[in-house]
Homo-oligomer: A and B are copies of this chain.
Amino acid sequence: MEIREFQRLIRQIYLDRDQRRGADQTFLWLLEEVGELTRAYRRKEDNAGSEMADVLAWMVSVANFLGIDLESEVLKKYPRVCPLCSSSPCTCPFR
C-alpha cells in the first residue's frame, strides 16, 4: 500500500472525529501511541508491529490536519539515498 493511499484511508475513516477532537488532542494521542510502542519494545512484547501501525495512523491524522502529504515529504527527504551524504548505503561519519 502506498503511503499516500494509507493517509487517504485514515482521512476517510477518522477525519470527522479528528476535527471534533482537535489538533492538539490528536497530536497527544499520537504521543500516547509512541508510548505504547516504546512499552512493547522495552518489554519485548509481540505487539510492537501493531503499535507501529497505530503510530503511523495517528501521524497521518496529524498530517491531514496540517495539510502535509507524508509521501511527498518522504520522497523529498529520502530520494533513495541518505539526505546527508547522498549515498546508499550511507557513508556519513558514524553516530
Contacts and interface: CB of A to CB of B under 8 A. Distances in A.
A44 to B, nearest CB: 9
B48 A52 contact: no
B49 A16 contact: no
Copy count, this protein chain:
2
Contact of A74 (B6, B15, B62, B82): B6
Interface residues of A, number: 53
Interface in A77-92: 77-78, 80-82, 88-90, 92
Interface of A: 1-3, 6, 9-10, 12-17, 20-21, 27, 31, 34, 37-38, 41, 48-50, 52-57, 59, 62-63, 66, 68-78, 80-82, 88-90, 92, 94-95
